[in-house]
Amino acid sequence: MLISADDLAKLTEQGARNFIVTPNPYAYFARIAQAFIDLAAPKATPGMHASATIDPSAQIAPSAVIGPHVTVEAGAVIGEHVRLDANVVIGRGTRIGAGSHLYPNVSVYHGCKIGERVIIHAGAVIGSDGFGFAPDFVGDGEARTGSWVKIPQVGGVSIAPDVEIGANTTIDRGALGETRIGRGTKIDNQVHIGHNCTIGKNVVIAAQVGISGSCVVGDGVVMAGQVGLGDHVTIGPGVILGGASGVFPMKHLEGPGQLFMGVPAEPIKDYLKSLAKVRRLK
């Protein structure tokens, strides 16, 4: 049994039971479970499937596993013990760090950098164009003419080691600089991160979060499901954003450990007061 020292002290009768005493039983359990899963999982054989398409200028480590119908373009570098499952596409000049695992149908566009031990789940897209268009219109109403002019997105995406990215998540490349994801950050399924964002270390982002361009998210931030950030928002280190909360463009939230809720997001005490007032309206 896994147990903390505090819980062990509370037991009046321990009997003949055995305990593993640890400061964090939940994390200890996770590591034990990982070890058993690793032992039980079938071991992939290093090498390239015959159907893979590898540019002659790409560098593939001998220990890498390249699955069926994988495409690796010119100048890409695939590190030691990397696993690329079926139909993965790695763009030109992209680097995949040692020990990373990309599940089926992941696409990593050109010029991206993926760190060591990164996990990217099926269908994720890394380095697609940011949503940048300049308006070029004249006139009003039915007489209005012109178009939206695409702004070339020539930056990249840089993902630090030990990041995990969920299925069907999209992370846009920067317009000029890089979109950055910090070490140890965990991103759920169906999340969108816009161009030129900087996401800090050990951030947790739950499903269906949408982050607009040029946002800064500090270390240790927790974002619950369906949170939305407008463009150029800054979220300070350690802030917690509750489910479906929204932060308007250009706003700055601070307060390590403080929970924000609502649209626009406000500290939980203020949110509950506002909610109570709304419910009293007749």
Torsion of CA 235, 240, 244, 245, to 10 degrees: -50
Query: CA distances (Å), 231 to each of 21, 89, 158, 234, 242, in order?
Result: 46, 29, 20, 9, 19
Of residues 49, 192, 195, 252, which has the active-site annotation? 195
- Dump the DSSP string for 226-244: T-EE-TT-EE-TT-EE-TT
Give the DSSP letter of residue 196.
T
Q: Find tokens 């200028």 and name the residue.
A: 57
Q: Find tokens 């939230």 and name the residue.
A: 253
For the chain, the straight-line distance linking the first and the last C-alpha, in angstroms and rounded, comes to 55
CA distance 262 to 215: 19
Contact in structure between 242 and 254 (CB atoms under 8 Å): no
Give the DSSP letter of residue 56.
T
CA distance 191 to 168: 8
Q: Find tokens 């890089």 and name the residue.
A: 178
Q: Find tokens 């979109």 and name the residue.
A: 179
The question of whether 195 is a catalytic residue gets the answer yes
Kindly report the number of other CB atoms within 10 A of residue 86's CB atom. Answer: 15
The catalytic residues are 195
